[in-house]
């Protein structure tokens, strides 16, 4: 039996992403922007995909200033043609796709009894169907090479119903992302693709900060903090270690798992 501890590359080397290519949806802002920076800093070439091309290009400019090879792509992840075009653009640029980060999504607060059917459909289309369409297109590229890492953004709301905001459609979609990812992980594991999810807790982004300045936001913040054992919100940088780990060789024996990064919210 070979002594793997003595023969394996060093642990820090296994976290490096040199030579790998990543596609990050919703990469033009918030959590997706943090993911794009983390993957690029770890050595990957990064395609920043966003429905807003100016936002995507702004992040690409930030990455290039760090010496990262990056491109901006405009895409609506609810449209099969846009998703396939984004994957094709990565293959045309770098010849391979090794990391797919399916992060694009929206949030909304609305009482279930008042929720229009259109709100339900929009939430499930973007937050769940969009993840499936991206995963499907990315897998078709990865399966040809026999290796790939797929990381889908879920939420702690896929595990626990958070309070006090009413968001049944969002919670259902994120729970769906977790179970979809487990299903894909089981299906594709024999062919070299690992699929995992990251479930952020209450995390500061520009959108969240803007929300917290509203009367409704100021009302919910004390309860968010009280329900979080660490009594603080997370920062997008708190998620960067997880994305690099799941994208790297350090997690090659991990698939179908959900990393909850929530300051302890779900332990109660």
What span, in angstroms and rounded, lies between the C-alpha atoms of 78 and 76?
5
The answer to whether the beta carbons of residues 160 and 224 sit under 8 Å apart is no
147 carries an active-site annotation: no
What span, in angstroms and rounded, lies between the C-alpha atoms of 20 and 142?
12
Q: Where are the beta strands (DSSP E) in 27-118?
A: 45-50, 70-74, 99-102
The answer to whether the beta carbons of residues 183 and 163 sit under 8 Å apart is no
Neighbours of 69 (CB within 10 A): 16
Write the CB contacts of 49 (distance below 8 Å, at least 6 apart in sequence).
23, 24, 25, 26, 27, 56, 73, 74, 75, 77, 86, 104
Extract the tokens encoding 240.
Answer: 């960067």
Q: Which residue among the candidates 35, 170, 245, 265 is catalytic per the annotation? A: 170
The answer to whether the beta carbons of residues 164 and 220 sit under 8 Å apart is yes
Q: Coil, strand or helix: which one is 68?
A: coil
In the chain, what is the straight-line distance between the N-terminal and C-terminal CA atoms, in Å?
43
The answer to whether the beta carbons of residues 112 and 123 sit under 8 Å apart is no
Alpha-helical runs (H) found in 205-265: 206-212, 215-226, 240-247
State the catalytic residues. Answer: 170
């Amino acid at each position: 039996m070979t002594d793997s501890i003595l023969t394996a590359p060093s642990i820090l080397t296994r976290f490096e992403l040199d030579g790998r290519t990543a596609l990050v949806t919703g990469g033009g802002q918030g959590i997706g922007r943090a993911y794009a920076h983390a993957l690029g800093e770890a050595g990957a070439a990064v395609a920043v995909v966003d429905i807003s091309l100016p936002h995507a290009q702004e992040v690409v400019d930030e990455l290039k200033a760090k010496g990262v090879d990056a491109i901006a792509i405009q895409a609506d992840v609810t449209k099969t043609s846009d998703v396939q075009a984004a994957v094709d653009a990565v293959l045309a640029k770098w010849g391979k796709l090794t990391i797919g980060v399916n992060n694009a999504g929206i949030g909304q607060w609305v009482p279930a009894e008042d929720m229009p059917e259109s709100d339900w459909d929009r939430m499930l289309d973007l937050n769940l169907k969009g993840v499936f369409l991206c995963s499907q297109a990315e897998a078709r590229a990865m399966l040809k090479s026999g290796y790939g890492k797929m990381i889908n953004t879920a939420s702690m709301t896929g595990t626990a119903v958070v309070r006090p905001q009413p968001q049944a459609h969002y919670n259902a979609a994120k729970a769906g992302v977790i179970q979809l990812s487990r299903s894909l992980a089981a299906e594709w594991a024999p062919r070299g693709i690992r699929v995992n999810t990251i479930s952020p807790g209450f995390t500061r982004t520009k959108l969240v900060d803007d929300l917290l300045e509203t009367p409704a936001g100021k009302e919910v913040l004390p309860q968010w903090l009280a329900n979080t054992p660490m009594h603080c919100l997370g920062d997008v940088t708190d998620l960067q270690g997880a994305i690099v780990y799941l994208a790297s060789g350090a997690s090659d024996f991990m698939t179908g798992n959900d990393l909850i990064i929530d300051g302890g919210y779900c332990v109660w």
